[in-house]
Amino acid sequence: MFSRAFAVGVVALLPTLSSAASIISDGNVSLGVDDFGQLNISGGVADVTGQTAVGVRYVDPTSGTEYEATSHGCLCEGWGLAVDGTTGSANNDFGGASGLTLVSFTSTATTAQSVVTVDGTNVQVTHDFQLSSSDNLYEVIVTVENTGMTAVTDLEYRRVMDWDTSPTPFDEYVTIGGTGTTTLLSSSSDDGFVSGNPLDAFGDLAGCGTTVDFVACGPDDHGAVFDFSLGGLGAGESYSFSIFYGGAVGLAEANAALGTVGAELYSFGWSGSDTNQDGYVDGTTDLAPTYIFAFSGVGGVVQQPNPTSPVPLPAGGVLLLTALAGFGALRRRKTQA
């Protein structure tokens, strides 16, 4: 792949930016990061389909051609937090930012950080976008901090995206794995067309199933949504977990990336024209990346997905939940001095 060390060395020479929204890249994956920590912004180069809005992109290491995964048709990627019933969220095609106040947004060519507060609460949320241990993935460290003097008892976090996977946006297979062993997960599905507010209901778009694992559901125009019950935080406490975004050429490379970062829960989205998920449009040498959306630090166990090619399900198909084991949540708290 394109040398990340070379890319980082070049961009390190550029000045630090302090501005609204930013397109960041390590040479292999590019993200369009908006002020409040949601993805999908304008101003990128045209991808293989001509799309210039940037959400999550895979960059072909041979040609430099970019493949966009989330911004075609709908800028539907975002997040939200409910704090004892008071909510704030950010999702550009679902009301933009609501119930949030921006504290700061800073970026360089390879990193970005958004810090916000949830209105009416003493809870601050930081999304810190940085290089991960895998060349195929960006890591976003999410930190939820209670800056007040009294405890909060119920925190609910949502992250949602509509997969629109180049080279065939609006026609993708979707896989979700790790639901049975992720104890902080409260619900999930393929419904990418829902707000970031974790108190809003969502559905099951293509009959893939709700809060279950499924493999190669579709092809259809759908996505992934995950809701997490983070519990409470005492005064001065915080909780952190990680989100990963990126892409790979085919299933084996995508699985390797999950293993490298220790992902506990994940979704893959890829072209409906790549039936065997080998990374190419069927019968051609045209690239069709597998895009990756994953989590760690959410009370699960590290996934070891099947490295073999999937058997696609028709729309409405679903595989049964593979595990019901309850593992203790891996809570990472820290108390402010």
The 3 state secondary structure assigned to 56-86 is: EEEECCCCCCEEECCCCCCCCEEEEEEECCE
Q: Could you tell me the strand order of the sheet in which 56-59 lies?
A: 22-25, 29-33, 56-59, 66-68
DSSP-derived secondary structure letter, 17: B
Q: Is residue 44 part of a domain?
A: yes
Q: Give the CATH number, domain containing residue 228.
A: 2.70.98
Q: Is residue 231 part of a domain?
A: yes
CA 292 to chain centre: 7
CA distances (Å), origin 257, targets 19, 29, 250, 304: 31, 13, 11, 11
Q: Is the pLDDT of residue 324 over 50?
A: no
Confidence band (pLDDT; 50, 70, 90) for 2?
A: very low
The overall average pLDDT reported for the chain is 89
CA distances (Å), origin 175, targets 163, 190, 201, 227, 280: 11, 9, 21, 17, 17
pLDDT tens sequence across 276-308: 999 999 999 999 999 999 999 999 999 877 655
Q: Is residue 30 part of a domain?
A: yes
CA distances (Å), origin 305, targets 25, 132, 176, 263: 27, 20, 10, 10
Structure tokens at 244: 């990963």
Residues in the chain: 337
Q: Is the pLDDT of residue 136 over 50?
A: yes
pLDDT tens sequence across 302-319: 987 765 545 454 433 333
Q: Is residue 337 part of a domain?
A: no
User: Rounded distance, CA 281 to CA 256, Å?
Assistant: 21
Parent domain of 96: 4-332
Residues 29-55, mean pLDDT to the nearest whole number: 98
CA distances (Å), origin 312, targets 2, 171, 208, 217, 271: 31, 13, 11, 6, 12
Q: Is residue 112 part of a domain?
A: yes
Q: Is the pLDDT of residue 325 over 70?
A: no
Confidence band (pLDDT; 50, 70, 90) for 252?
A: very high
**Could you tell me whether strands 152-162 and 237-248 are parallel, antiparallel, or unpaired per DSSP bridges?**
unpaired
**Could you tell me whether strands 100-107 and 96-98 are parallel, antiparallel, or unpaired per DSSP bridges?**
unpaired
Q: Which of 95, 57, 102, 58 is nearest to 76 (CA)?
A: 95
Q: Which of 7, 73, 64, 89 is nearest to 40 (CA)?
A: 73
Question: CB of 17 within 8 A of CB of 105?
Answer: no
Number of separate domains in the chain: 1
Q: Is the pLDDT of residue 204 over 90?
A: yes
pTM: 0.87
Encoded amino acid at 81, one letter: L
